Amino acid sequence: MCGRFAITLPPDAMAQLFQAVPSNDLPEVPNYNVCPTTQIHAVMADDGRRLVSMRWGFLPHWYKAPNGGPLLINARAETIAEKPAFKAACRERRCLIPCTGFFEWTKDMDGNRLPWYIHAADNAPLVFAGVWQDWERDGQAFHSCAIVTCAANDTMSEIHHRMPVLLSPDIWGKWLGEDGPGAATLMTPAPNDALRYYRVDPEVNSNRAKGPDLIAPI
Domains annotated on the chain, with CATH: 5-215 (3.90.1680.10)
Please give the pLDDT value at position 181.
Answer: 79
Q: Report the percentage of the chain scoring pLDDT > 90.
A: 93
CA distance 131 to 93: 6
Q: What is the DSSP letter of 155?
A: T
Q: Residue 7's CB: how many other CB atoms inside 10 A?
A: 23
Taking 80 as the threshold, does the pLDDT of residue 1 lie above it?
no
pLDDT tens-digit readout, 6-31: 999 999 999 999 999 999 999 999 99
Alpha helices in 21-114 (DSSP H): 87-92
Lowest mean pLDDT segment, chosen from 72-76, 94-98, 176-180, 203-207: 176-180
SS3 of the chain: helix, strand, coil, percent, to 5: 15, 40, 45
Taking 90 as the threshold, does the pLDDT of residue 100 lie above it?
yes
